[in-house]
Chain A
Amino acid sequence: MKLLVTALVLSVISTGCRKGMVNQQYLKPLAEEEFFKDGSASRPIPPHTVARSHLNEDAHFFEGKIDGRLVTTFPAPVTREMIAHGREGFDIYCAVCHGRTGAGDGMIVQRGFPPPPSLHEERLRQAPVGHFFDVITNGYGIMYPYASRVTAADRWAIIAYIRALQLSQHSTLDDVEPAEREHLQTAEK
């Protein structure tokens, strides 16, 4: 009887110390797991596997190419929301090197990264939109690929904003709404 009571009291006390619910037996994202060779619980997708709803058949949308040739059109109509969203993406992922205006003078370049070409070069102004998609997706020269960081839809939004940036650097007063022109001219003085 005495033994039973002791066991009961001990088990009640010790349950208070167990942290089984705090650290449960499942793997968290990117946790350490020595079972796998690379020591990570998060597994890469096995080669040639297609996740449900990730068939990515639309080559125009997912590769920026049709029959191996760079596309010259956007896969969907460009909207104001898309450009605004693209601006957000550009300022997060691209501006660090390419600069907020696309001139190629971002902060990382100022700290010693080899400068990228200005997005306002004639060559890049004439380049098809598929070229930008290809560069963001697969990288270019010393620029790393961004496919794993920026979704295809976001990449197209960023390209729409790049086009807007290019237009902004090559517009004249005639492109401005007549009502706004006067405002701009007085602001200059």
Chain B
Amino acid sequence: MAQLFKKRANVIARLIIFGGPALFLAICAIIYGFGRSDFWTRVDNPLNQPVPFSHKHHVDGLGIDCRYCHTSVEQSSFAGLPSTETCMTCHSQIWKDAPVLEPVRASFQTGRPIQWTRVYDLPDYVYFDHSIHVNKGVSCATCHGRVDEMPITWKTQPLYMRWCLDCHRHPEENLRPPQEVFDMQYQRPENQSTLGRQLVLENHVHQQGLTDCYTCHR
């Protein structure tokens, strides 16, 4: 009787036994890697805006405080985007004929807000409140990075849940004294852990509740 399987069949069988799982793992790794890549999360990817607004110029160059434009960040869940009136407070006098600011002037005349492109977009099943973070000592720069060094704004965090939880489990690693929250040049002190634990107590950060599901999903 002739051989049912040729000798080649051994190789094919090994390929399937070892190659199959290997291929499966490779696909998993690619999906995992892709989900964390800057391409997918849009981290470090400057977005086009109707007006090429430079935080670097306004914050670093002119020394304007974050709250001059993002007025509601200390009281509201929403940090607030400046109205066109806020832009025009200065630009009715400075650079008032610059072509680059034409959308601002058009918006001011028609009352139709400028349509900025969103840089940070949390999924809608996440409840996030700016005011509680800022008031408890989480700086703007902790999540938004060194905005004062961005000529065009980009995202510095992929906003994965693990990243949120890292901080909610160990808030002492990121808390700052209240007066340093809006300071972009602040350097993390060497005794951050000791200082952080002290700030957790002083600012009444209730650590037990921070990792409850309903803290962020409500």
* Chain B residues within 8 Å of A142, by CB: 92-93
Q: Interface residues of B, CB < 8 Å — how many?
A: 25
B78 contacts A96, CB within 8 Å? no
* Chain A residues within 8 Å of B93, by CB: 112-114, 142
CA distance A186 to B175 in the complex (A): 39
With A148-B85, A149-B71, A149-B86 already in contact, the answer to whether A111 and B62 are too (CB < 8 A) is yes
Total cross-chain contacts (CB, 8 A) = 59
Which residue, A23, A26, A113, has most C-beta atoms of chain B within 10 A?
A: A113
With A108-B62, A111-B94 already in contact, the answer to whether A92 and B85 are too (CB < 8 A) is no
Point out the residue from A38, A96, A108, A111 that lies within 8 Å of B111, measured CB to CB.
A38
Q: Chain A's interface: helix, strand, loop or mixed, by majority?
A: loop
Q: Which of A98-117 contact B (CB under 8 A)?
A: 107-108, 111-114
B213 interface contact, C-beta 8 A: no
Closest to B124 in A: A24
Closest to B77 in A: A29
A140 interface contact, C-beta 8 A: no
* Chain A residues within 8 Å of B89, by CB: 143-144
With A108-B94, A111-B94, A114-B93 already in contact, the answer to whether A22 and B85 are too (CB < 8 A) is no
B201 interface contact, C-beta 8 A: no
B90 interface contact, C-beta 8 A: yes
B97 interface contact, C-beta 8 A: no
Q: Which of A22-79 contact B (CB under 8 A)?
A: 22-24, 26, 29-30, 32, 38-40
* Chain A residues within 8 Å of B32, by CB: none
* Pairs across A and B, CB under 8 Å, 7 listed: A21-B123, A30-B81, A32-B115, A39-B115, A92-B68, A108-B90, A144-B85
Residues of B within 8 A of A (CB): 62-65, 67-68, 71, 78, 81, 83, 85-86, 88-90, 92-94, 111-113, 115, 123-125
Residues of A within 8 A of B (CB): 21-24, 26, 29-30, 32, 38-40, 91-93, 96, 107-108, 111-114, 142-144, 148-150
